[in-house]
Amino acid sequence: MSEQSHYPSLNGRCYVVTGATSGIGEATARALIDQGARVVALGRNAEALSRLAEYGCETHPLDITDSAQLEQMIGGLGVVDGLINSAGITHVESALTLPAERIDAVFQANARAAAIAARCVARHMIEAGRAGSIVNVSSQASLVGLDAHLAYSASKAAMDAITRALCLELGPAGIRVNSVNPTVTMTPMAEKVWSAPEKREPMLAAIPLGRFAEMADVVTPILFLLSDEAGMISGVCLPIDGGYTAR
């Protein structure tokens, strides 16, 4: 981490990261370890969890939509200072052919699971009298219309609504809740998906900065929102999109 992205207030604190076995979740878990935090990494990929354990994370393989299992695990953690909701799935298909069961699956993974995880962590924090921060990893797809993204866009819009509702409800307990809303972010999977020039170039042309986000472009704002330096920021949905949603 660069000197500019070092947040001393994160040192020694404990954060739960969902979807920690890939992409932004994994990068965030590793960055928090670098900041001196204790990280509880949740996911379903055993091999990736093993790598995170070697990096210093406490790992738990589980399905976060199982609220009973999540509540039991959170209850045994001791002090918790916050949550990063990064678990989710993407499905791109025309609204005219999108099956109802696919809509349900995307909402369950992206919106329902985020609400359940936030509920479990917030209950634990409030019972311990602990203030802190929750960051939901949303998407620019919640802020603008995108072709063939009905289920994904709607689920991320729901996540942003969850952010605002929790901001009001948890604020009196000293728990801040925010979303980050990235554009295409260069995870290994995204690099494959956006490698074709006919797909990549039109999207880049719509981003005023003319590039996709790198992992650090998203992780650094997450760290900031978790830190005391963002102590008066709550209820925000922060575009990290190079200006895409300004059009």
Residues assigned a catalytic role: 152, 156
Question: Which two three-digit tokens encode residue 35?
Answer: 């900041």
Local structure of residue 19 (DSSP, 8 states) = T
According to the model, what pLDDT value does residue 188 have?
A: 80
Six token digits for residue 127? 């019972």
Structure confidence at residue 151 (pLDDT): 93
DSSP 212: P
CA 52 to chain centre: 17
| Per-residue model confidence (pLDDT) at position 133 | 98
Tell me which residue of 64, 62, 55, 3 sits closest to 32, measured CA to CA. Answer: 55
Q: Checking phi first, is residue 41 left (phi over 0); if not, alpha (psi -120 to 50) or beta?
A: beta
pTM of the model: 0.95
Angle of helix 150-170 relative to helix 113-127, nearest 10 degrees?
20
**Mean pLDDT by 10-residue block, N- to C-terminus, for the chain (247 residues)?**
70 97 97 98 96 98 90 93 94 90 94 96 96 98 90 96 98 98 90 85 95 97 98 98 94
Domains located in the chain, CATH noted: 3-185+216-235 (3.40.50.720)
Helix pair 46-55, 23-34: axis angle to 10 deg: 20
**What is the reported pLDDT for 143?**
95
